[in-house]
Amino acid sequence: MNNEMSEARFRHIVRIAGVDVEGDLLIPYGLAKIKGIGYHTGLSIARILGLDPHTRVGYLSDSDVRRVEDFIANPTRYGVPHWYLNRRKDPVTGEHRHLITADLIFEVRGDIEREVKTRSWRGVRHQLGLKVRGQKTHTTGRIGTVVGVTKGKAVQRKEEGK
């Protein structure tokens, strides 16, 4: 009888913050499916809200899902420090925010466009399609066909033709 009750509560798909999350995932992994939230943020959300991180997302009640969505929308209300947010000191508004899904993609694209427009070093690197964060480029990040050493068979054919 208890098995039937727990099976009735379980949902295979749970919609959290506009994203369909599989119900058989643990809470931190399920929340990590939302762009802008990683495993550790999902784990901290579960711990701060008093949810067991070893619980499956499908067993969350509607009120728990609403609490999680409220947390994602306003993390500072729950005591999350500013340094934990992914959009600190927004250049336009100056506020600290945590962005998710399409908002995050839109803001990052806007940041890159702003850097290209101001012709900053990072903007120029973005514009040229080169590495931006100081990585080596001598051997990595190559795009296009392989240039350099040819296979041994091609060399042998040339010798036979002499």
Q: Which residues contact 21 (CB under 8 A, 6 or more apart)?
A: 13, 14, 15, 30, 31, 33, 34, 57
**CATH number given to 2-84:** 1.10.8.50
Residue 6 has pLDDT above 60, yes or no: no
Share of the chain above pLDDT 90, in %: 58
pTM of the model: 0.72
Residue 53 has pLDDT above 70, yes or no: yes
The pLDDT of residue 159: 63
Structural contact between residues 87 and 96, judged by C-beta atoms closer than 8 angstroms: yes
- Measured between alpha carbons, how far is 7 from 12 in angstroms, rounded to an integer? 10
- Measured between alpha carbons, how far is 84 from 27 in angstroms, rounded to an integer? 19
The pLDDT of residue 7: 56
What average pLDDT does range 17-30 have in this prediction?
A: 94
Average pLDDT in the chain:
86
For 102-147, what is each residue's pLDDT tens digit?
Answer: 988 998 999 899 999 999 999 999 998 889 998 888 888 887 777 6
The pLDDT of residue 1: 42
**Which of 124, 6, 128, 116 is closest to 61 using CA atoms?**
6
What 3-state class would DSSP assign to 20?
A: strand
Q: Where are the domains of the chain?
A: 2-84, 101-144
- Cα distance between the two ends of the chain: 86
Q: Is the domain covering 101-144 a CATH 1.10.287 domain?
A: no
Q: Which two tokens stand for residue 34?
A: 């939302």
The pLDDT of residue 145: 75
**Can you list the alpha helix ranges (DSSP code H) found in the chain?**
2-9, 27-31, 39-49, 62-73, 101-117, 121-128, 152-160
- Measured between alpha carbons, how far is 60 from 92 in angstroms, rounded to an integer? 37
Burial class (CB in 10 A: 0-12, 13-18, 19+), 20: exposed
> How many Å separate Cα 117 from the centre of its chain?
26
Residue 86 has pLDDT above 70, yes or no: yes
